[in-house]
Amino acid sequence: MTSFPEISPNSIRVGWIGTGVMGKYMCKHVQDASYKISVHNRTRSKAEELLAKGATWAQSPREVAKESDVTFTIVGYPKDVYDVYFGEYGILAGAKGNSIVVDMTTSQPSLAREIYQKAKEKGVYAVDAPVSGGDVGAREAKLSIMIGGDKDVVEYLHPLFQLMGKNITYMGPAGAGQHTKMCNQILVATTMIGVVETLLYGYKAGLDLDEVISAIGAGAAGCWSINNLGPRIVNRNFDPGFLVEHFVKDMGIALEEARRMSLALPGLALAHQLYVALIAQGKGKLGTHALALALEQLNNLEMKKQ
């Protein structure tokens, strides 16, 4: 077992980079457990709530890493991850030996492996731990966390992961967490088509959509998307739990990995194209359930609540 200080608020300092829709809640749970936190975000205003509760502002990812025993990151795109870790003012320019860095962004498995290797050369341990559960899961500390890296390091971090999620799974070596998240996104993308088409059919048939969700959500067709995002669609609430433009990024990564493995995924390709069309309509900042808007347009109707 690698030797680390005890995981407790009195023994370690935590760093956090990325306080967006999900990151702010995840960081807040750690902060609420009395850990001292250094925080950085590209837009400082998004970190103000955490700063008001006692977090320390750092001017760069490098400064966060200098101050931290464990540094978490959850940013937007693989390019952002690359810059945060490898830039002149990046994490690996400041991380101290025997510290740990944990990327919770949904990113490329190959980039996770690169971070792992470059960190190892500096005596730093790297873990990839993307999450699923959206804004609700982040807010309620009920995220699913899929983890790749050295098993003993992951086990050491378990008390911190427990502050953010309920389903915490070690998947294997560096990159395995990201591969598992791709499996998650493939299922979510194709399931969302089914959710929207179900509601469109019910609407056209003159059914009460709330009752449709209640009737089928408890049966064999029940799933997280119909039970949690279906009501948002019916109520015309397309605020993001997870942004369309970020989801398109994820599907692009999955399709790229599938091509590399000579794997045909026509359902994912269709979902990707539908979501690209949604971005073309100027709706990239909405939540992923806004796919309903694209399919409504195809059918020349709007699911107005009766």
Residue 244 is which amino acid?
A: V
What span, in angstroms and rounded, lies between the C-alpha atoms of 119 and 121? 5
Report the candidate in 293, 292, 257, 287 with the shortest Cα–Cα distance to residue 135: 287
Closest CA to 117 of 174, 176, 181, 180: 174
Gap between the Cα atoms of 163 and 177, Å rounded: 18
Residues 67 and 15 sit within 8 Å (Cβ to Cβ): yes
Residue in this structure with the two tokens 């001017």, named with its chain if needed: 59
181 is a catalytic site residue: yes
- Beta bridge pairs of residue 128: 103, 148
- Determine the distance from the C-alpha atom of residue 236 to the mean position of all C-alpha atoms in its chain, rounded to a whole number: 24
Q: Are strands 100-103 and 70-73 parallel, antiparallel or unpaired?
A: parallel
Catalytic residue among 66, 181, 249, 283: 181
Which residues participate in catalysis according to the annotation?
181
